[in-house]
Amino acid sequence: MLTPKARGPLSQAVNEALAIAPDRVDVPDAGSAEDAAIALWTLYELHYRGFDDVDDALEWHPGLLGVRRDLEQDLEDRLRSRWTPYTPTGDVGEELFAYVAAHDGPSLAKHVQSQADEEQVLELFRLRSIYHAKEADPTAWVVPRLSTGPKAALMELQFDEYGDGDPNRLHSHLWALGMDALGLRADYGAYIDDVPPEILEQNNVMSLFGLHRRLRGAALGHLAAFEMTSSMPSRRMAQGLQRLGLADAMVAYYAEHVEADAVHEQLAARSICGALVAAEPSLAGDVFLGAFTCLDLEDRFARRQLAEWGVA
């Protein structure tokens, strides 16, 4: 992948710094939320697969890390300001299920199931591809930060995301097969220049939670909410694709998620978050910050996209 297009003065300055690797990196203020979001996304990407046009050594460039830190602080402040703090008093798994069930938001999957046209569905896939091409990767950062109980529990789930050792079943690979069958680009980050700020923020949050040991509770709460809101929406997606006669390979991706995430939601809520809070009770609040953030950011994206399509 090449460096994404700049979306304002800050991301322009970040891209220039990535090109010339100056000793000091001075950047202007962001011109917009979108400018800040793409700059942060670009800086995070250095820790995943990097860019063909950027020196791999810049992953740990102190000047760039400083820019990243400022952008992360703004993002985390924003997330915390949107959230009403909540600390569970009983069983964490049960409370997570209740917390997610009590949340009501717009559903893109319902629109795809019954109304969306082919063009809208393909657009949705281009936007979702930014995450699905690195599906489960942001959560993998969390593994070494955990103690025995939650570490084993998280790996039980992650192993399944990664195909149980079979590359043909790796979820991001199933996604790529679906994209290819639909005639869309399956390569990593292919549509980054097309995605709106809501998608960038969803992605950046997963990296923020994954890359900061301090935020491991939020990372696992985010995972739980993500898995808990996947099974039924995945079936709606599969039904929408079938209604439109779209590629079986993408139907297969969603069918796998109906079944896998019915398991994963139980594991994430009960064995992963349950074990984490048992081992580190002080992280209980952050688990719910993560869960809330996952639900809230999906709402923001869904509202934007439905409005763009004139649906809501």
Partner 1 sequence: MSEAESYDHPDVVLCPGGPMLLRGDHVVQDSDGVAHRTTRPVSAVCRCGKSQTKPWCDGTHQVLPAKLRPA
Residues at the interface with partner 1 (CB under 8 A) = 94, 97, 101, 147-149, 152, 156, 159-160, 164, 231-232, 235, 255, 258-263, 265-267, 270, 278-279
171 binds, among partner 1, Fe ion, none (CB under 5 to 8 A by kind): Fe ion
Give residues in contact with Fe ion (CB under 5 A): 161, 171, 261, 264
Three-state SS string over the chain comes to CCCCCCCCHHHHHHHHHHHHCCCCCCCCCCCCHHHHHHHHHHHHHCCCCCCCCCCHHHHHCHHHHHHHHHHHHHHHHHHHHHCCCCCCCCCHHHHHHHHHHCCCCCCHHHHHHHCCCHHHHHHHHHHHHHHHCCCCHHHHCCHHHCCHHHHHHHHHHHHHHCHHHCHHHCHHHHHHHHHHHCCCCCCCCCCHHHCCHHHHHHHHHHHHHHHCHHHHHHHHHHHHHHHHCCHHHHHHHHHHHHHHCCCHHHHHHHHHHHHHHHHHHHHHHHHHHHHHHHHCHHHHHHHHHHHHHHHHHHHHHHHHHHHHCCCC
Q: In terms of CB distance, is 76 or 261 closer to Fe ion?
A: 261
Q: In terms of CB distance, is 66 or 149 closer to partner 1?
A: 149
Name the minimum Å distance from CB 98 to partner 1: 10
Name the minimum Å distance from CB 267 to partner 1: 6
Name the minimum Å distance from CB 63 to Fe ion: 36
Name the minimum Å distance from CB 276 to partner 1: 11
Q: In terms of CB distance, is 112 or 199 closer to partner 1?
A: 112
Q: In terms of CB distance, is 51 or 131 closer to Fe ion?
A: 131
Q: In terms of CB distance, is 1 or 170 closer to partner 1?
A: 170
159 binds, among partner 1, Fe ion, none (CB under 5 to 8 A by kind): partner 1
Name the minimum Å distance from CB 139 to Fe ion: 10
